Amino acid sequence: MNKNLKIILGVIYLICLSLILFAFFNFVDVTQITDYSYIRDNTKILIDLKNQNITFFAIIFLIFCIVWILLLGFGSPIALISGFIFGKITGTLITVFGFTIGATLLYFLSQLYLKETILNYLPKKAIKLKNIFNKNEFFYFMVFRFTGGLGIPFGIQNVLPVLFDMKIKNYFFSTFIGLVPTVFIINSLGEGIEKIIETKYEPSAFDIITDPNIYLPLLAFGTVILISFFIKNKIFK
């Protein structure tokens, strides 16, 4: 790619990231948006707004997911909100599509700016590992995503395959399939929170923990974590 174009893309990315961070720290009151009363009072407004034009609302949220992952990397809060607004099925579809596109764009930019440097300085052992990975990179990365990235933060997961020079096509589809279980679990948790708010005025901690809409997704999430630790200890020790 032309050097000037790479510089322009890099500058645009940094400007967008700076604007997002500036807006968040100056216009978002974290204390307010995490307050139960505020969430309860605004839930009906949000759901009614969605129901008026669900297609438009879903497209806007999809774009939001793409931009969020591309610029900020981490995704669990967004998956939770998606389940809260759209439910676990529709929410999972929107979130997985958005996360996959955003992660792929981030991976593309990482390849653009980091690939040559990383590949030039890879030690011999890493090169051997790269060759093994590339023989079945789709399957390996899909399992990696399926297990929640073995505990590695989502933002780092998205750029890690630069080490192996993974094909973008394989990256996209393995990410799309591999994200489904974890995203579905988090969306289910978000839907459960919405149902509790809808049916209970101010639930106690016991009400929340013992509600099947909450503890079942948490148990499933815990199972995924245990599987990821098992794979990490047995295969990647």
More confident residue, 82 or 232: 82
Judge whether 71 lies within some domain.
yes
Angle at 193 between CA 185 and CA 53, to 5 degrees: 90
Q: Tokens standing for 133? A: 């990975």
pLDDT of residue 191: 83
Judge whether 109 lies within some domain.
yes
More confident residue, 28 or 156: 156
Judge whether 150 lies within some domain.
yes
User: If we measure between CA atoms, which residue out of 164, 71, 61 comes closest to residue 114?
Assistant: 164
Residues 165-205: tens digit of each pLDDT = 888 899 999 899 888 888 888 888 888 877 777 765 565 65
Judge whether 4 lies within some domain.
no
Over residues 93-113, mean pLDDT: 89
Judge whether 151 lies within some domain.
yes
- 134 φψ region: left (φ > 0), alpha (ψ -120 to 50), beta (else): alpha
Over residues 7-13, mean pLDDT: 71
Distances (CA, A) of 196 to 29, 44, 76, 220: 24, 13, 20, 19
pLDDT of residue 235: 55
Residue with the two structure tokens 């909450």: 214
Helix ranges restricted to H, the chain: 3-27, 30-33, 36-52, 54-71, 76-86, 88-120, 124-135, 137-146, 154-159, 168-199, 205-210, 212-235
Q: Is the pLDDT of residue 22 over 80?
A: no
Q: How confident is the model at residue 93 (pLDDT cuts 50, 70, 90)?
A: very high
What are residue 109's phi and psi, to 5 degrees? -65, -40
Residue type, 89: I
Residues 27-76: tens digit of each pLDDT = 656 565 555 565 666 667 777 777 788 888 888 889 888 888 888 777 77
Highest mean pLDDT out of 3-17, 19-33, 38-52, 137-151: 137-151
Structural domain tally of the chain?
1
pLDDT of residue 38: 59
Judge whether 111 lies within some domain.
yes
In the chain, the percentage of residues whose pLDDT exceeds 70 is 63
Judge whether 200 lies within some domain.
yes
Parent domain of 56: 35-235
Judge whether 182 lies within some domain.
yes
